[in-house]
Each structure stands twice: as structure tokens, then as C-alpha cells.
Chains A and B, each alone.
Chain A
């Protein structure tokens, strides 16, 4: 399928999801769907660096928080309009991605993962001491009472925005997958030295990968202040972003755009249901158990498991 056709399908699916708006009366559905879609963006973003390029990033929360706090700062400064927040947060997180990449890309494996975790912790410390954006006390970002386009409650508008952002993230991920860039990233993942010796400019491609991955993580955070109204560092840097952004692609499958999407829809929905029916404290425990199960029983995720079944089906 060509990129154009795929983008068209993404747009149609997004339009259909946004079209759900008048059909559902319960506002809570949109709040839950917003969170699940946020995870679709985060895990798709993580997978560009983690799945395609083979570099495990534990600092998802850091990039997400860059998007969140760019919006907070812009709101504080001049009550910036939402589109500006979205673009600015993405760009700042993307630039941060290049910076992080440049500082850490000479590290491999565990060392890279540890460095990304350390950078998220440093950023957390910085934000705690950043009084202008609320510091440790937190900051209010008040969404308008009514959504534009006569959508009713503002969450319905944020849901529609997040549908579009998720569609963009997926289209970007798939576009990379089927491009020369994607082949170069896969070569780096398989064997970095062999890739370099086959003509792949490994450092430049890794920087492009961290920039796109970081930028999309920031993108996921840009609307979050309006969603949650009160932003404080522990919620913006929550462990669940870093853990979910890794767990969802691992559970779904890391080799294609579909894996993180399936993982995020599945795990995100389970978490939302558990949150309502049992308790929010159970969320990460369930992620942990599922992660252990998948890593031991189906290390290539749901996608890999299904491909394996197909292959066995053909040969028998």
C-alpha cells in the first residue's frame, strides 16, 4: 500500500472516531479514550527509536513532560492558542531528542537506557525548581468551559484532537517503516557496525530517529495540561508513561507500526477498565504481570506470535 493510500485510511478512521461524538452521551468515555489514544501516540513514538532503531529509551516521561511544560509555559505567558502549544511542544521535544541523542548515542545497550533514565530525572529536578511553570506546587491550566464547534464538554474536543494526533503519529511511523530511512534504521538495529560499513550514516540516522521519537512523545503531552487542568511534576513525569511506552510495543510487537497500536489499545483499555472496576493502584501491577508473561512466552509480541502461527499453519 502506498503512503498516500495509508494516510487516506488514517484520515478516514480518524474522521469516523471523531464522528462518534454526538452518538455517545457519557463524557467519561471521551476521557478514557483520550488516555488510551495518548498511549497510542507515546508507544508509537517510543517504537521508532526502541523498535525500529533498537535503542531502549527509559526517558519517555521526560519527553512527554517537555510537551506538557512547553504548553504550561506558553499558557502562563500569553494564554497561547492550542495549535501553537501543539506545534511548540513537539518542536521543543524534538530538539531535546537531538540533544539527548548527541550526548548519549555513542552509548550502546544498557548504558544508553540508563542515560535516558538519568536525563528524565534531571529534567524532573529542573521542573520542580522552575517557579514560572508552577515548580513543585503545580500550575493550573484552565480549559474553556465549552468546546469549539458545539461539541459540548471540552473533553470531547480534546478527544477529537488526540484522535488526529494518533493518526499523525501512526502515519509517520508507517512512513518511516517503508522508507529508505526505515531500512537504514533496521540495519542499525541488526548490526550497527555492519550498517556503517554498508554506507549507512549511523550517527545521523540515530539523531533523526531520536528527534522524531522525542518530538512525537512531546506531541502526546501538549494537550495534557488542558486535560488534567492542574499540572504538577509527579503527574507529568509519572512512571506509568515510561513503563507503558515500553510495555505496549513489547506486548504488541516492535517490528511494525501495528504492534504499538495493538499494544496500546489493548493495555490502555484494560487499564481504564481496571481503574473503574477495581482500583487505580492495580494498573501498573497488571502491566508488570503482562510484560513478564509476554517477554517469556511471546517475546515478539502479539504480532510476532500471529506471524509464527501463520507460518506454522502454512507449513503443516
Chain B
């Protein structure tokens, strides 16, 4: 495993995490480190445990073995809403907008409930509108701020997912297949958005099947197959790995 030398302490450390569903081992002693501001691609065939890993890290599932630490703090048993307050945000594979609210009001939820908790500042209602507009502008949804979020197009819903995650002012964003089912130009939109996170100082784990996007985006790629991590390192080296090629293309 090659970890970049620029930062000594990882932001997120997943150490020997195991998750079972009955007799099925979804994650088998998986380890993954993410450093501040890093862009990591997480790939693997369907059913390899990528989403399960995201759920364990974000706190919507409980892992059985191993440890997950964020900025050195053990997350075991911590509910999801406290993890995001510490700066660990995620977006959902299938967009989950707050459908009865406008696009702007969707962003108010993390602004009121998550943002600022990790630096001790609370956001007021009046502040939150201005901040939400700023974030919507940065993802290209400013014109739709007043629309009901349930009526957005697929690509706009993906953008809203990301905007809502950004609104929590995270240090790490896990984007779970944010581009699935989008057209080529829409993929470029989202890709550009995820790449721009670095300027905000946000590390990103991108889970994706679109290899063009993964190769363009990732500084490092990790590969999960059947609940085990089989490769982790420089994208070109990982893709050339015969084991990875076997998992993806068959023999």
C-alpha cells in the first residue's frame, strides 16, 4: 500500500473493517486511509461491498469488526448525524431530496444542523439563506433555488445531493455513484464539480463505474472485489494489475 507522503496523519482511517449480513461477508477486513484534500477513487464490480463500506463509514450501518477513525477519533457507535457534524459527509447513489422543500430549503437542513458544529459556530436562519445561495451558485443550481426539489431532473438532483453535502462544510465527501445514468456531458459537469472540491479543502472518495471519470479524477484508486480490497495505489498501476483486470473483464 502506498500512502502519499505529503500528510503524515490520515483524515479517515478504515482499519480491518468487517461487515456481515447473516452468513454473507460483505466486507472482509477492509483497510483504507484517506488524507486531507486527497481524491480517491473506489471501484469494484456490483456487489463488491462499495456501498456497504460507505454506509459503515457514514454511520448508517454498523460494522462488526475493525475500527473506523476520523481525525484520530474512533467513530464506533457514533450515530450518522454526529459524524457529519464532525465533517464526514456523503451523497446517496439514488438521490434523496427533501421533496416537499424548495432547492434552497434543502440546503438549510445541513446548514442549520451540521455546518459549523465542528468549529463551534451556529448558523442562523438569515445567514443560511445567503450561504445556501452561494453553494447553489457554485454547483450551477442558483436559477432553480426556488423550485420544488422533487421536480428536478436527474442531473440536477445529483447536483443537489452534492450541494447538500457541501453545505455541511465537510472535510471528507463520499460521493456514491454520483454520475450513474447521466449523459456524457452531464458526467463532465459532475466530474468538474467533484474535482473542484480540492480548492475547498475537501477530500473526496468517489465511487464510480465510469472508468473515464475515475481515471480523470483520482489521485489514488482502491479496488474492492467480493468484500476484499485487492489493490490500492496509483491509478495507472492499479488498472494494469492483472487481478483487477480479471475482476473487471473476466479471463
Contact = CB atoms under 8 A, between A and B. Distances in A.
Binding partners A and B: yes
Interface of A: 180, 183-184, 186-187, 189-191, 193-203, 255
A201 B79 contact: yes
Given A196-B79, A200-B81, A255 B113 contact: no
A184 B109 contact: yes
B60 interface: yes
Interface string B103-115: 0010011101111
B248 interface: no
A250 to B, nearest CB: 16
12 contacts: A183-B108, A184-B113, A190-B98, A190-B99, A190-B101, A193-B96, A196-B81, A197-B58, A198-B113, A199-B81, A199-B115, A201-B113
B100 A186 contact: yes
Given A183-B105, A196-B60, A199-B117, 14 more contacts: A183-B112, A187-B109, A191-B96, A191-B98, A193-B96, A194-B97, A194-B98, A194-B164, A197-B92, A198-B110, A198-B164, A199-B115, A201-B81, A201-B82
Contacts of B114: 198-199
The 5 A-B residue pairs with the shortest CB-CB distance in the complex, in nearest-first order: A199-B114, A199-B113, A194-B96, A190-B98, A198-B110
Interface residues of B, number: 29
Contacts of B214: none
B125 A197 contact: no
Contacts of B115: 199
B80 interface: yes
B73 to A, nearest CB: 17
A245 B40 CA distance: 52
Nearest to B117: A199
B105 A197 contact: no
A255 B148 CA distance: 14
